[in-house]
Amino acid sequence: MGRKTQHILVLIQDQNYIRKAIVHAFKLASIFKAEVAFTQICKSASNNQLPSSLIGELNSENIVYKEISLGNPAVEPNNTIQQLEAIFIVTEFAKGKLSTFKKNEVFKYLYKAKIPSILLGEKSKEQCNYQNITVPVDFKRETKEKMIWASYFGRFNQARIHLFTANHKAESAQRKIKATLIFTKRMYEQFNFDYKIVKSERSSNWLRQDAYSFSEQFHSDLMVLLSQKNDGLLNKYFGPAEIKKFLRNKGNPILFINPLKDYYLPCN
């Protein structure tokens, strides 16, 4: 039996804010030779039908897509992810829905998901080539997961990966970062794509803020970030305040990764 077709899974939060999610989903599907599945997670939506005319207008490559429904919340979204062999979630946040204390139902799915999520904010651009990727590199061992996922964009899309590394005086932190870079170099050099190591002047605690500025300066079109292993219930219901702030104010989409998940991986 052959391998099933992989999918990009789009979680629709608001029918009025879906255009960017559609465009990005079809772009990712084109890059990874996948199909697209749309599902609505907003229970209060008065119109539950997909905007077929809009999808048709934006589907310039005639990529196969379908509408699905999520099942039992206790096993979702991973039951659907497994059935579809989904490799990324895409979701777009409606304007005004990213305030610090506003609940976001989507995060309960994103934190459970065994695939990374592409998050599109208020200022995210509709068009994105996914060919200029920024990856903050700190001393945490989970950082290697960011390197692996960034590599897929290099391998499948010939993206250039900017590894933005923290600066530490402590030798132990320096050794951990060096070990991550050695691991990354060995992996990346197996494939024919470009990457560059850029050193920050800040430590790991401030690295993300510097990386945001760096990504704008070098016209990056994707920021790769990890959730925290100890993210509490508030983050899972309301969303991480820092990431919501970034999505409110910056143009870059975020590739949001849960560390140490038993991930489903894209086909080689």
| H or E stretch at 236 | helix 233-238
Please give the average per-residue pLDDT across 36-40, as a whole number: 96
pLDDT, tens only, 188-234: 999 989 999 999 888 888 888 888 888 888 888 999 998 765 566 77
Of 4, 8, 7, 45, the residue nearest 24 (C-alpha): 8
What's the confidence (pLDDT) of residue 161? 95
What's the confidence (pLDDT) of residue 40? 92
pLDDT at 44 over 70: no
96-119: b (≥16 Cβ within 10 Å) or e: ebbeeeeebebbbbbbbbebbbbb
Question: Are the beta carbons of 124 and 253 closer than 8 angstroms?
Answer: yes
Give the pLDDT band (50/70/90) at residue 260. Answer: low
Give the pLDDT band (50/70/90) at residue 265. Answer: low
pLDDT, tens only, 86-137: 999 999 998 888 887 777 889 989 999 999 999 999 899 999 999 999 999 9
Residue by residue, what is the 3-state secondary structure of 182-196? HHHHHHHCCCCCCEE
* CA dist., res. 235 & res. 98, Å (int): 12
What's the confidence (pLDDT) of residue 36? 98
pLDDT at 9 over 90: yes
What's the confidence (pLDDT) of residue 268? 60
pLDDT at 8 over 80: yes
pLDDT, tens only, 123-173: 999 999 999 999 999 998 888 899 999 999 999 999 999 999 999 888 999
